[in-house]
């Protein structure tokens, strides 16, 4: 077995033993996101304010955006 085979993204079982509830919730959300089509994922990003309907990044996500509390060193 190759090392890359051990930790595949598909191994994010939300029901794995020893996980806290926050990790379970994140893993369930990721599993739902992985089931979306490209179009559905794009529409979600538009609703979240990441992209405009014509496919451009909104101002806070553009490379020329001002640094923020979330990105203080950009």
- 32, two tokens: 């739902």
pLDDT in tens, 10-69: 578 888 999 999 999 999 999 999 999 999 999 999 999 999 999 999 998 888 877 766
Contacts of 27 (CB under 8 A, 6+ apart): 12, 13, 14, 19
Answer yes or no: pTM beyond 0.85: no
Q: C-alpha 2: how far from its chain's center? A: 26
Q: What whole-number distance in Å separates Cα of residue 34 and Cα of residue 55?
A: 20
The ranges assigned to domains in the chain are 18-69
């Amino acid at each position: 077995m190759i090392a890359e085979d051990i930790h595949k993204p598909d191994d994010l079982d939300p029901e794995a033993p020893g996980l806290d509830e926050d990790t379970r919730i994140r893993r369930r959300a990721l599993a739902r996101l992985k089931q979306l089509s490209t179009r559905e994922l794009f529409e979600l990003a538009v609703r979240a304010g990441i992209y405009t309907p014509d496919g451009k990044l909104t101002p806070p996500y553009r490379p020329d955006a001002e640094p923020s509390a979330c990105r203080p060193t950009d």
